[in-house]
Amino acid sequence: MAAVNIPTHQDPITTTRQWLDAAAEGEAFNPTATALATIGSDGAPSVRMVLLKDVDSAGFTFYTNLRSRKARELESDPRAALCLYWKSLRRQIRIEGATSLVSAQEADAYFATRERGSQIGAWASQQSEILEVRADLEAAVAQTEGRFAGGEVPRPDFWSGYRLVPTLIEFWWELPSRLHERVEFSRETDGTWDHRLLQP
Instruction: Give the start-to-end residue ranges of the domains of the chain.
Output: 12-102+163-198, 113-154
Instruction: Going residue by residue through the chain, which has 200 residues, state the pLDDT in tens, using 9 for 90 and above.
Output: 555 689 898 999 999 999 999 999 988 789 999 999 999 999 999 999 999 999 999 999 999 999 999 999 999 999 999 999 999 999 999 999 999 999 999 999 999 999 999 999 999 999 989 999 999 999 999 999 999 998 999 999 999 999 999 999 999 999 999 999 999 999 999 999 999 999 99
Give me the architecture of the 12-102+163-198 domain, per CATH: Roll (2.30)
List active site positions.
178
Asked if residue 170 lies in contact with residue 195, where contact means CB atoms within 8 angstroms, the answer is: no
Write down the pTM of the prediction: 0.93
Q: What is the 3-state secondary structure (H, E, C) of the chain?
A: CCCCCCCCCCCHHHHHHHHHHHHHHHCCCCCCEEEEEEECCCCCEEEEEEECCEEECCEEEEEEECCCHHHHHHHHCCEEEEEEEECCCCEEEEEEEEEEECCHHHHHHHHCCCCHHHHHHHHHCCCCCCCCCHHHHHHHHHHHHHHCCCCCCCCCCCEEEEEEEEEEEEEEECCHHHCCEEEEEEECCCCCEEEEEECC
**88 class by beta-carbon count within 10 Å (0-12 exposed, 13-18 middle, 19+ buried):** exposed
Q: How far apart are CA 148 and CA 145, in angstroms?
A: 5
pLDDT value of position 174? 95
